[in-house]
Amino acid sequence: MLEKTYDAEGVEPAIRESWEKADAFRAGAGASADAEPFSIVIPPPNVTGSLHMGHALNNTLQDVLVRFERMRGKDVLWQPGMDHAGIATQMVVERQMMERQEPDRRKIGRDAFVEKVWAWKAESGGVIVNQLKRLGCSCDWSRQRFTMDDGLSKAVTKVFVNLYKEGLIYKDQRLVNWDPALLTAISDLEVLPVEVEGQLWHLRYPLEGNGRSITVATTRPETMLGDSAVAVHPNDERYADMIGEYVVLPLVGRRIPIIADEYADPEAGSGAVKITPAHDFNDFEVGRRHNLPVISVMDAEANISLKNNEAFLNELAPSSKLTHIIDELDGLDRFTARALVVSLLEERELLEKTEDHTHTVPHGDRSNVPIEPFLTEQWYVNAKALATPAIADVKNGRTTIVPKHWEKTYFDWMENIQPWCISRQLWWGHRIPAWYGPDDEIFVEETEEEAAAAALRHYGEETELKRDDDVLDTWFSSALWPFSTLGWPDETPELSRYYPTAVLVTAFDIIFFWVARMMMMGLHFMGNEPFQKVFIHGIVRDEKGAKMSKSKGNIVDPLELIDEYGADALRFTMASLTTPGQDVKPSRARIEGSRNFGTKIWNAARFCEMNDCRPDPDFDPQAVSETVNRWILTEAAKASSEVTVALESFRFNDACEAAYRFVWDSFCDWYLELIKPVFADGSEAAKAETRATAAHVLGIILRLLHPFMPFITEALWKELSAGKDGLLALSKWPAPDFADADAAEEINWLVELVGAIRSVRSEMNVPTASKTQLVALTKDDVLLTRLQRHEPAVERLARVEGIAANGDAPRQAAQIVVGGATFALPLAGIIDFSAEEARLKKEIDRVENEISRIDSKLANENFVARAPEDVVQAERDKRAAYQEDGKRLSAALERLKQAA
RNA sequence: GGGCGGUUAGCUCAGCUGGUCAGAGCACCUGGUUUACACCCAGGGGGUCGGGAGUUCGAACCUCUCACCGCCCACCA
């Protein structure tokens, strides 16, 4: 006997164990040899990560699809694994070392540090795997991969070497986004614009020789030390006569030209702009166009660096007597230097004015400090070349993105893609397989031996090589995930079976970081797309719609929700809130609703169990004869079909709704109530058939809901079949193979009749406890037979005692019209004549309104002429039905008046 | 500056190709211990589908326009 309520916390571990024991999620589990493959690669969570609501959403959706397809008999692989998360992990370990007051990484050296990271991973990394299991994720856990595994590292190295040899990876000296806190380059995508309240300083630069000056506006006065020109727009009349003149750069004394360049915007600032090629991306371009020197005035930590700075010193005027200024500024951090430069200029009356100015400043997404454009040599991927096939693949529909509007975002970015900076000045990650000779000749090979061999060929003798210190952007290895996890570069059976994957499920915030790059790499190295479909879901927001973040303090921990409501409740909520293209805002009320739904199913099963409804292996739906049973089988088939269609098109919310309505409305509210009289007073044959049907339909329910609520459904499946049917997770998805329109029509009528009686009783304030007779005012034999057939149900559900079919109207009665017949509820002593009169009049009004609405439609010649015939006919039929109802209601009103 | 979403019941949202599409859950009101379930049952109230214009026989749904909200990209002297 089942407990009275479902105990998620108590049941879930045992269910997980039963799945594990049966190895139910191994690739291809339960599938036949000729099964169609269906594979999904998990978006690998960071090894430092723990389950957040975004993971809960993303992985619920994947698990729904995977369980659904597995039950449909496909050969399913859900490939799990984790990402080494270069910067994030390195930061975690460094912080830990700091907390433990251990010497920092530079002191212990690279090898020792990397060893520490591995030790950290072994000890505290990957807690998320168990959390995903708690969520119920049916990944093939035996195939877990890690981006730093030997196999995946081999793939990374090979890809790097191949791309290098194809000329698609190269080294370049240019400005990069430099993170002065983490001391590494980062890619464009890792830079976040942050709005800050700053100032706009207007600096007066004296012209050489003539006592005039030109004013430039800047938000970064400290970079003026590296100015190499002042630019004005060629058409700007204010400055036309200054073009070609020289400015003597204040504080520094350097002579720099005033140049004409369209980059200068006459509307912005003063119209004249200082050009600092080493510290601004735009200025760098201007500098290139005008062949200006690039004078970096900062070091890697963004401190002012002048004294040992050749670029700076070389451009310094020989006569300059500025050593004290250089002394003062040298070594200051950029913000301190900013203040000092401003005050030095102010002293010299070169500060024209200062304005408050709100602008966005690029920040590092990890360090959250302003990033510095910094001139360094880095490794780049020629993303433009790789993007071309990736664009074509989506254009020609080999990969489709759902919802489709995201394709535009994808195209826009891909078509304007910039070189991808892939080198990072970190220690934790895939070390770049490049070795340098003494003359800086580069040898890119997969192993040190091969590099040495290449060097031998090049130099003609053994030469000592030095390996590149940098590691690769974490996303470089993530980009290979769909094939590296399947064994590439080896030609494994898994690779040929499961690549391309069926669908990638992810949130929109990593389309550029990840999806786009997997497309590029997959197409380049595998020759075809990494996934046939990409399903983009929203992100999880809090109840007010705000993005969840630590700083806002609005983080909801999915594990707490699982503790409180069970994994199924959280999953069902996530899935039912997923409408294509919308963000997800889970609320406790909603999760409670899902939990209640689980309880509802639990109790429905409990009812079945109490009535001895056991699954019968020989049950044949087609042989069923009772109308209610044929009706619920029809409804079950309809629900199966709806859930299937919805899941095939990623309409998770529709799938949930169809299942929910079927279970709660059709099965619990009507079917179980309708069969109670059968169990109480039915024939043995009817009872047996009904038991078998109820058990059968409950089985369908458990299977339909299993992808969404795997724990409770598996638990009930086990309970009800006494373990004889194996795991629900490996059972067959229900086929919508039953339809009986007549039974559906009949039960719908019954539902309508019961509903009408209940309504009128409630409106007439008939005490719940009292029962009334029902008099059918009709001589229609078909209807009367039907009524007789359902007499026990009507009596029970509508609180009726005795059904009279004599057609004589009782004197004091409430009357209703259902399915073309009038029914009276004798309510002598209870009936309120005026209330009933008002009620009937209201009904008549409603019907007449409908009729006149239809009449005006039908009177419209254009409607009759242009609307499709079936639409017009439907209106005519409706009108006829309303007219019949109207007649009966009017007759009922007459009888009431006579009685009064 | 460019682009993309959104605006439907008190709240959170469904509503796929225009013709039972005006819906669900929660909240609310009224009754209720009837052979599972009060995490429940029965009944009920509540919306001129953001404003305006247009297309159409017919618009929550298509077009245009305005307003507001959110997001993404670029730029910011």
The residues of A between 807 and 826 with beta carbon within 7 Å of nucleic strand B are none
Question: Does at least one atom of strand B sit less than 7 Å from the CB of A763?
Answer: yes
Nucleotide nearest to A751 (CA to C1'): B42
ipTM summary value: 0.95
State residue A434's pLDDT score. Answer: 96
Surface-to-core class of residue A468, CB atoms within 10 Å of its CB (0-12 exposed, 13-18 middle, 19+ buried)? middle
Q: Are A393 and A399 in contact (CB under 8 A)?
A: yes
**Minimal CA–CA distance to A632: which of A683, A690, A676?**
A690
How many helices (H) and strands (E) would you count in chain A? 32, 27
A218 strand B contact, CB < 7 Å: yes
Residues 6+ apart with CB under 8 A from A135: A51, A55, A56, A59, A60, A63, A558, A562, A567, A570, A571
Quick one: tokens of A535? Answer: 């399903």
User: Which nt has its C1' nearest the CA of A263?
Assistant: B77
User: Which nucleotide C1' is nearest A766 CA?
Assistant: B31
Contacts of A370 by beta carbon, 8 Å cutoff, 6+ apart: A180, A361, A362, A363
Q: Which of residues 495-524 of A touch strand B (CB under 7 A)?
A: 509, 512
Residues of chain A with pLDDT under 70: 318-323, 544, 722-723, 807
Task: Tell if A579 CB is < 7 Å from nucleic strand B.
Answer: yes
pLDDT the model gives residue A520 = 96
Task: Render A707-772 in DSSP notation, one character per residue.
Answer: TT-HHHHHHHHHHHHTTTT--GGGSPPPP-----HHHHHHHHHHHHHHHHHHHHHHHTT--TT--E
Greatest C-alpha distance within chain A: 123
Please check whether strand B approaches the CB of A359 to within 7 Å: yes
> Under 8 Å CB-to-CB from A243, ≥6 apart: which residues?
A232, A234, A258, A259, A260
For the record, the structure tokens of A115 come out as 């060893």
| Distance CA A299 to C1' B8 in A | 58
- Asked if A870 and A878 touch (Cβ cutoff 8 Å), the reply is no
Residue A581 contacts strand B, CB under 7 A: yes
Distance A217 CA to B9 C1' (A): 55
Protein-nucleic contacts, chain A 727-756 to strand B, CB < 7 Å:
755
pLDDT of residue A320: 62
CA A730 to chain centre: 27
**A850 Cβ within 7 A of any nucleic strand B atom:** no
Distance in Å from B24's C1' to A593's CA comes to 12
Cis bond before residue A44 (omega within 30° of 0): no
Provide the pLDDT for residue A556: 85
Instruction: Note whether A814 and A828 are within 8 A (CB).
Output: no
Q: How far is the CA of A880 from the C1' of B22 (A)?
A: 24
Question: Can you give the distance from the CA of residue A45 to the C1' of nucleotide B60 in angstroms?
Answer: 40
Do A657 and A578 form a contact (C-beta atoms < 8 A)? no
**Cβ of A411 near strand B (distance < 7 A):** no
Distance A510 CA to B51 C1' (A): 37
A188 touches strand B (CB under 7 A): yes
- Please tell me the distance from the alpha carbon of residue A369 to that of residue A182, in angstroms, as a whole number: 9
Report the nucleotide nearest the CA of residue A609, measured to C1': B36
B34 C1' closest Cα residue: A796
Angle at which helices A710-721 and A8-22 pack, to 10 degrees?
80
Does residue A768 lie within 7 Å of nucleic acid chain B, judged by its CB? Answer: yes
Question: Nearest nucleotide, C1' to the C-alpha of A676?
Answer: B35
Q: Residue A309: count other Cβ atoms within 10 Å of its Cβ.
A: 21
CA distance A724 to A485: 36
Asked if A199 and A356 count as a contact pair (C-beta separation under 8 A), the reply is yes
Which nucleotide has the least CA–C1' distance to A580? B16
Q: Which nucleotide is nearest to A671 (CA to C1')?
A: B36
- Closest alpha carbon to A824 in A793, A849, A802, A848: A802
Residue type for position A662:
F
Assigned token pair, A364: 């590092």
Q: Which pairing describes strands A813-818 and A531-537: parallel, antiparallel, or unpaired?
A: unpaired
A859 touches strand B (CB under 7 A): no
Rounded CA separation A264/A196 (Å): 23
pLDDT of residue A613: 93
Distance from CA(A887) to C1'(B34), angstroms, rounded = 35
Nearest nucleotide by C1' position to the A872 CA atom: B19
A248 by DSSP, 3-state: which? strand
A849 CA → B48 C1’, Å: 18
Find which nucleotide's C1' atom is closest to A799's CA. Answer: B34
Q: Note the pLDDT of residue A276.
A: 93
Question: Which stretches of A129-248 are assigned E, i.e. beta strand?
Answer: 145-146, 169-179, 184-186, 191-206, 213-218, 229-232, 246-248
Q: How far is the CA of A859 from the C1' of B57 (A)?
A: 11
CA of A822 to C1' of B6 (A): 48
Q: How far: A863 CA to B56 C1' (Å)?
A: 11
Q: Is the CB of A619 under 7 A from strand B?
A: no
For chain A residues 263-322, those near strand B by a CB cutoff of 7 A are 263-265, 268-273, 280-282
Quickly give A511 CA vs B72 C1' distance in Å.
11
Q: Distance, angstroms, CA A606 to C1' B74?
A: 60
Token representation of residue A594: 């899902």
**How many Å does it take to go from CA A583 to C1' B69?**
14
Specify whether the CB–CB gap between A522 and A500 falls below 8 A: yes
Is residue A95's beta carbon less than 7 angstroms from any atom in nucleic acid strand B?
no
- Residues lying close to strand B (Cβ under 7 A), chosen from 652-671 of chain A, are 653-654, 657, 664, 668-669
pLDDT at A321: 58
Q: Is the CB of A215 under 7 A from strand B?
A: no
Q: Is the dihedral of CA A344, A350, A354, A359 positive or negative?
A: negative
A189 touches strand B (CB under 7 A): yes
| Span CA (A69) to C1' (B59), Å | 39
pLDDT at A811: 78
List bases in chain B with any atom under 7 Å of a protein Cβ.
3-6, 12-16, 19-20, 24-27, 30-44, 56-58, 70-77
pTM of the model: 0.92
**Nucleotide whose C1' lies closest to the alpha carbon of residue A189:** B73
Contact A26, A623 (CB under 8 A): no
8 A C-beta contact, residue A660 and residue A568: no
Name residues whose C-beta falls within 8 Å of residue A895's C-beta, 6 or more positions apart in sequence.
A809, A813, A815
Nucleotide nearest A546 (Cα, C1'): B70
User: CA–C1' span, A232 to B30, in Å?
Assistant: 78
> Would you say the C-beta of A547 is within 7 Å of strand B?
yes
